[in-house]
Amino acid sequence: QLNLAAEALEQPGAQEEVAAMCASDEALQEAIDKDPKLQDMRDSNPIAAELMKDPEGMKILMDPDNLRAVGEIPSAMEADFMSSMGADVNANSAGIDFGGDVGGAAAAEALDI
């Protein structure tokens, strides 16, 4: 979804529209209130929502490359989390002896993780 928005922002005249939208707090809120796509972007992505709170943040978000990057953050975070969980839960990489044949979930519970 954010990739499509990034492509639209690369079209001629799009950055001029962004500049007008980001001229003031009022202009920004009016643009968001009138545009269901902007509302959906705000409501579906917490990072985008934070950047959309003020004109300077919105200018940063509306850079096509930045917009694509924001869209990739949730999946990158999930992949990183799953990778770290796999390393910690499936193997005793820290070399800690938990006393017997204790599985990763029990080990995590014992460490209060």
Per-residue pLDDT of 76-112, as tens digits, reads 666 666 677 665 444 444 443 434 444 444 434 444 4
Global pTM reads 0.57
pLDDT at residue number 2: 73
pLDDT at residue number 97: 40
Over residues 24-52, the pLDDT tens digits come to: 999 999 999 999 988 998 998 888 899 89
Tell me how far apart the alpha carbons of residues 3 and 24 are, in angstroms, rounded to a whole number: 26
pLDDT at residue number 79: 67
Q: Which two tokens stand for residue 7?
A: 């492509």
Handedness of CA 91, 93, 94, 97 (dihedral sign): positive
Handedness of CA 67, 56, 54, 10 (dihedral sign): negative
SS3 1: coil
pLDDT at residue number 68: 84
